Structure formats: C-alpha cells, structure tokens
Structure 1
C-alpha cells in the first residue's frame, strides 16, 4: 500500500491497464479501428453512420457493464460512492457528451488509443481532459460537493 494513497490498488490498476491496452491493440490491429467508447456507443445506438460494424459496436458497449458485473461477482462487489445529489452527475454527463462531440472523441479514444500513437490532436485533447478534471474536482471541493 502506498502511504499517501491508503486505498490505492496498484496491482489491480496495472492488470486493468494491461487489459485495456490489449483490447485497444486488438481492435486497432484486428479491425483497423480505434476503441473509443463514445464512437462505439454512437455507432451501437445508430446515430453514427461510419466506424466499426454495428454488431461489433453493440458487443463492445454491452461488454462494458458486463465486464464490471463479472468482476463484481468474482470479488464480492464493488464499492461505489456518488454525490448526495444527482444534479452534478447529470450535468457532468451532459458536459462529457458535448465534449466528446466537440473534441472528436472521448478519453478512451484520445487518452488510450491516440496517446499511444502519439497523435498531436490526442495529446492536446488529453491535456484538456486532465486539466478540466483537475479544475472540476477543485471547484467541487471548494463548493463542498466532495
């Protein structure tokens, strides 16, 4: 355990990161497509015409909560905490959705796939994602929401 982060789980984080990296590499090498969740979700919902085949997009999107459910079954549950009000979650979700369209991709597409390819657009987008996240947490702490 890391002294500054008593609840850190570095081994689990390493394993999760490796699984995400392998999945992204398989999708890129096998299909020639980026494993960006927002693009795949749009394709699965039928609101994006291009991208991966719709069946693959649907399988990918279904696999996200399914994977979490399997891990929960194997480990006895996953502890989650949410703000006392749903309003910040709703506002955050809408802002993330708008941002993924504005930035031509999401954190998985830019942060995982684009960064690994040293895409200048993804480097800038990921820096903006991170800065926005830092600012949001700081503002929520100041406002007493966290």
Structure 2
C-alpha cells in the first residue's frame, strides 16, 4: 500500500464527486447510500433496477480496484488498532449508525458529498453533527469516559 498523499486524496475526491455528479446528471438522483439502500428494500419497483445496480457496483468496483491496483487499496487492519469489540457492541454500533442516518435524513455521502456541493444548509448542519459525533466517539474509544 502507498502512504497518504494530498494527490491521492484529490484524485479520490474527484472520482467520488464525478460519480455523484454523473448519477445526478444521468439519473436525476442524489448519491446518498442510505437512501438508495433503504429505498431498494421498499416496495416501489419502478426505481429498483438502478438502485440494485448501484449497490452491486460498490463491491464490484472495489474488487476491480483490488485486482487492477492492489497496492493502492489501503490495509485497514494496519491503519487502525484492534478495538476488540464484542459482537453485541458491533451490532449496537451498527444500530446507532442506522438511527443516526434516519435522524439526519441521510448519510455522509448524501449530505457530505452531494448536499454540500448543492450548498444545502440542512446538509451543512448534518455534516457538522457527523463530525462532532465522530470526534466524541474517537475520544471515548481512545480515552474512555
């Protein structure tokens, strides 16, 4: 794996922005993963095909990236110390993330990538809340209460 560099961050951000912009231009939809996933589970069948293709493309794109350029894929286990969370803690964490996206009416991709690009005040507030929650969570995990 290569180390972090501003160039890799710029390229990654540009690719994410281009993909979100392309979805908006071609399909008229915001690239909010929680909304795409949640709506794929609903009973509205007219939007189901593109949502399923989008969701399937996420792991497929990662697999293609790993096959084409494995050195560019970061090793998460080396970058993050083991947290040794029990399965119940992981399930509770996942549930809290789901509740947070429901309360914020969107996730980091919808608010952070698409909402900020559209200068949405609601998205600006949501991103500030996400960042504050992340800072508090890191502090608690590293230092305890």
Structure 2 Cα separation of the partners of residues 35 and 53 of structure 1: 14
Runs of 4+ aligned residues of structure 1 deviating over 4 Å after TM superposition are none
Structure 2 Cα separation of the partners of residues 69 and 108 of structure 1: 20
Which of 41, 51, 54 in structure 2 is aligned with 1:57?
51
TM-score of the superposed pair, with normalisation by structure 2: 0.83
1 or 2, which has the higher helix percentage? 2
* 1:41-63 deviations in Å (ceiling 9; x for gaps): 1122x23749x821111111111
Structure 1 Cα separation of the partners of residues 67 and 36 of structure 2: 26
Change (3 A) 1:114 1:48: farther
Structure 1 Cα separation of the partners of residues 15 and 65 of structure 2: 13
Let me know the Cα RMSD of the aligned residues: 2.2
| Structure 2 unmatched ranges of 5 or more | none
Residue 108 (structure 2) aligns with = 107
Residue 122 (structure 2) aligns with = 121
Aligned length: 136
SS for the counterpart of 1:64 is: helix
* 1:101-145 deviations in Å (ceiling 9; x for gaps): 11110000000000000101100001000110011001100039x
* 1:69-115 deviations in Å (ceiling 9; x for gaps): 22222233641225222444332221111111111100000000000
| Structure 1 unmatched ranges of 5 or more | 1-6
Q: Which has the higher mean CA deviation after the structures are superposed, 112-121 or 67-76?
A: 67-76
1:39–1:48: 8 Å Cα contact kept in structure 2?
Answer: no
1:42–1:48: 8 Å Cα contact kept in structure 2?
Answer: no
The structure showing larger relative contact order (alpha-carbon pairs under 8 Å, at least 6 residues apart) is 2
Residue 25 (structure 1) aligns with = 21
Residue 10 (structure 2) aligns with = 14
